[in-house]
Amino acid sequence: MAIGCFLDNNNICVKLDFDTYVVSRQKNNQSRLALIPSYKRRSMNVDNFDFKNGDYEEYKALVFDILSYPKPPDTEIFKNILRETLSAYSGENEEIRPKDKNGFGGGLIDLSGAERVVIIPDLHARRSFLKETLLFSINGDGVSIFERLEDKSLTVLCLGDGVHSEGAYLNRWLRAYDEYKKGFDKSPNMDMEIADSFNLMLAVMLLKIRYTDNFHFLKGNHENILNETANGNYAFAKFANEGAMTLSYFQKKYGEEILANYSKFEKELPLFVVGKNFLASHSEPGYFFTRDQIINHRDDPDLIAALTWTDNYSAEEGSVDKIISYFIPENDDCTYYFGGHRPIKDLYNKINNDRYVQIHNPRRKIVCLIDRDRRIDLDRDIIEIAKDEKKSIFKKENPI
């Protein structure tokens, strides 16, 4: 539905929900619709907009503009948002994220005081997943998760792996691999991959900037822009050679400054969450660890790998039970450890004595809703966003 029209450089522009389109003329004199990067006007000069305390509607529009933008992120906007994000991580609440022995944010996020938590599994460049989740009403009362972030009545926890599309995008990766071998002189397929992956991550960063204490994104094994095999990371290749391809694209298109700062951003990401009645990390924990160990994770590459790369059934026997008992002494059979990483076919899958719950289904948009004062019921609390129309206020955009 059109909600407004205006002129921009003598083009007729139509505002449709959160996206702005321009009607322009081609050589064949046919009209077309092309997305205007209206977020450039909002964010090119970060100093002129206070992401932390500025107008909520303007900020929300910016987030959705970025989630809808069909091209790779603009270089200057990327720089600005990265800078603000790194600043946000330096100012985190120490009661929520204790500092390590060197004064940096530790690997632990303490959400034991959070009344409500929404857990989002691996996003893997699924921009619509994040958008629909932000617009979802957990009570069916029309109040969205985005609005509850704004009034600080809810916390959002993402389990990592924001980048690198999966599943249906195999053929795009294979075509992009041919572009990579030719030095990305022309890169329409890789451009689309970068647009999906990193516009999503810019939205994640904006959410962290504004909701520093109420929005958390954990490190996953795909958060490795340098494609290094070091520091708890391993170079990544699944459908093609995704890690090397993404690194090469960044080096050519964005340069060393953005690459270095994006790597800094990844290394600021926490690894592990303690709630009143749940624990979470990207992958199943490979072995037992203490509070001091996880807070000082930066000096422990083995622990980083153990919380981001652990394969199914490769963890030490009983590790999840031991970790739950250590971090949540007053636990019961409805206290669970949540993770993503390995794909599942249904809403959830339980392993490791049925205490570790996997919720990453690449083909479905699944979230877990946790109330600190209510026993967790997996069948009630793990839901699919797109299927739960009665609760969701999300309305599919009309095709153009």
**Rounded distance between C-alpha atoms, residue 81 and residue 278, angstroms:** 32
Nearest CA to 365 out of 177, 195, 145 is that of 145
Helix (H, G, I), strand (E, B) or coil at 157: strand
Q: Which tens digit of pLDDT belongs to each residue from 209-234?
A: 999 999 999 999 999 999 999 999 99
Arithmetic mean of pLDDT, 195-220: 98
**Rounded distance between C-alpha atoms, residue 285 and residue 353, angstroms:** 13
**Neighbour count for residue 389 (Cβ, 10 Å):** 10
CATH 3.60.21.10 fits 39-384, yes or no: yes
- DSSP class of residue 194 equals H
Q: Which tens digit of pLDDT belongs to each residue from 315-372?
A: 999 999 999 999 999 999 999 999 999 999 999 999 999 999 999 999 999 999 999 9
> Residue 38: what pLDDT?
53
Q: Which tens digit of pLDDT belongs to each residue from 104-160?
A: 999 999 999 999 999 999 999 999 999 999 999 988 889 999 999 999 999 999 999
Angle at 199 between CA 216 and CA 388, to 5 degrees: 65
Token pair recorded at residue 371: 């109330």
Domain with CATH 3.60.21.10 in the chain: 39-384
> Residue 167: what pLDDT?
84
Q: Which tens digit of pLDDT belongs to each residue from 41-53?
A: 444 444 467 888 8
Arithmetic mean of pLDDT, 388-398: 36
> Residue 29: what pLDDT?
35
**Strand 215-217 to strand 155-158: parallel, antiparallel, or no bridges (unpaired)?**
parallel
Residue 73 has pLDDT above 60, yes or no: yes
> Residue 391: what pLDDT?
43
Phi, psi of 80 (to 5 degrees): -65, -45
> Residue 137: what pLDDT?
94
Residue carrying structure tokens 């958060």: 223
**Rounded distance between C-alpha atoms, residue 186 and residue 203, angstroms:** 26
> Residue 58: what pLDDT?
93
Token pair recorded at residue 313: 């059934």
Q: Which tens digit of pLDDT belongs to each residue from 6-16?
A: 444 444 444 44
The partner residues of 161 in beta bridges, in order of sequence, read: none
